[in-house]
Amino acid sequence: MPEEIRLRDVVEMRRKHPCGSVLWTVTRIGADIKMKCNGCGRVVMMDRVDFIRRRRKTVTQGPDAPEVTLGLSGRAPETPHSETFGGANEQDENEGDAT
Ligand SMILES: [Zn+2]
């Protein structure tokens, strides 16, 4: 999964909120990520690194896609411009759920 954060993302966090919900909606993206609990409406802020670490997955990706690169735009999509993303496998697979 790409470490992508979009406005209006609905994300599932590794840890349950005290209200019982694991779903949050991203309401603001900046140096810090602001998100709102889908269960109780509480808003919290955390930095990107923390957010990505605590996020289990993105449930619904937000509509805020400034540039959608599907190869459909005017520029010749045929060019095999190989882009290698090196450190993409730095994933925290540690399931630290102490339920
Ligand atoms: Zn909550």
Quick: pLDDT tens for 66-96: 554 555 444 545 545 555 555 444 455 555 5
Helix H or strand E encompassing 53: helix 48-54
Taking the centre of ligand 1 as the mean of its atom positions, its distance from the CA of residue 44, in whole angstroms, is 10
Structural domains of the chain, with CATH: 1-64 (2.30.30)
Q: Which residues lie near ion ligand 1 (Cβ < 5 Å)?
A: 17, 19, 21, 37, 39-40, 42
Would you say the pTM of this structure is higher than 0.75? no
Query: pLDDT tens digits, residue range 31-48?
Result: 899 999 999 999 999 999
Taking the centre of ligand 1 as the mean of its atom positions, its distance from the CA of residue 16, in whole angstroms, is 8
User: How far, in Å, from the CA of 52 to the mean position of ligand 1?
Assistant: 19
Dihedral sign from CA coordinates of 51, 52, 53, 54: positive
